[in-house]
Structure 1
Amino acid sequence: MSELLFKQFALTRRNFLQEIEGLDPEQASFQPEGFNNNIHWNTGHVLTVTEQFMMGYPKKSNHLPENYIELFGKGTRPSDWTGNVPSVEELANQLKAQLERINEVPASMLDQKLKQPILGLETFGELANMALFHESYHLGQIHAMKKLVK
């Protein structure tokens, strides 16, 4: 089962990266009517939340700058951004590196109980599945936004 989970991470991330590949900054920053955010934000949000779920960011992982929570965490929006915001290209490179780190997670870790349930999830494997669901959801949002940008 664990092999299937890691294959799904690779498949989902590959499709996610294909969706954002080649977007210019104007396309990535366009926020269509009816959407809460833009492609740029969704990209950083997936990176940040996956790092939280899979690597314990920001306390247990220093692979992302601490300000990513203020930029891309739950409830944030690009209209509130100030200061230095990483480009979509930089975020894409970080997504690639993150997938490499995810692939290094030992399969045995998936059965480990969490110290406290998160969103009703009790094991690390359940949390990993939530990370995949979350990424797929935002992949769909980006796909829809791209149709409206062009």
Structure 2
Amino acid sequence: MEQAILKNLRTNHHILSKFIDGYSLEQLNKIPEGFRNNIIWNIGHIIVAQQGLIYRSSDLPIHVTKDMVDKYTNGTVPDGNATQDEVDEIKGLLFSTLDQLEKDLEEGIFEHYNERQTKTGFTISNLEDALVFCSFHEGIHLGMILSIRKFL
């Protein structure tokens, strides 16, 4: 099942990458009326959430900066001023974080998991649950992006 989830995540990241390539910096930053965030925030949030759900909850170091976490963690609101450098960094992290996750899974570095409950009520008890939830979570944010793009 792990390979199917990773395949799903990688496919989703390719879709997200196409949004980055297909929209201008202004469009990626635009927060349409009635929305709390924008396309680039949703993509950055997906990356930060994956790091927290998988690495931090396993008491392992994350592979994104503190600034990235501060800007894209749950509950933050974008300022609509992401730079092209930030967008490029996010695009790179879409794949580098997945590559690292696959490597770390193969190497078996995940020895334990600190159970947690998400805001959606999903209890994540172990690494497999975290991987499943990441896929679900990314689907939610892809849906948000699909809604936002209608207003660009």
Q: What is the TM-score of this pair, normalised by structure 1?
A: 0.82
Q: CA deviation at 1:89?
A: 2.0
Work out the CA distance in 2 between the residues paired with 1:86 and 1:129.
31
Distance 1:96 1:108, change over 3 A: closer
Paired residue total: 146
Q: What is the TM-score of this pair, normalised by structure 2?
A: 0.81
- Tell me the alpha carbon deviations over residues 3-35 of structure 1, each in whole angstroms, 9 at most, x when there is no partner: 212211211211222222232111011111111
Identity of aligned residues (%): 23
Q: Which secondary structure state, in structure 1, belongs to the residue aligned with residue 79 of structure 2?
A: helix
Distance 1:70 1:117, change over 3 A: closer
Matched with 1:114 is 113
Q: Moved runs in structure 1, 4+ residues, more than 6 A?
A: none
Of the three residues 132, 135, 138, the one matched with 1:132 is 135
CA contact (8 A) 1:2 1:107 kept: no
CA contact (8 A) 2:42 2:141 kept: yes
Matched with 2:17 is 17
- For 2:94, give the aligned amino acid: L
Q: CA deviation at 1:54?
A: 2.2
Q: CA deviation at 1:55?
A: 2.2
- Tell me the alpha carbon deviations over residues 38-58 of structure 1, each in whole angstroms, 9 at most, x when there is no partner: 11211211111111112228x
Q: CA deviation at 1:86?
A: 5.1
Of the three residues 133, 142, 145, the one matched with 2:145 is 142
CA contact (8 A) 2:31 2:38 kept: yes
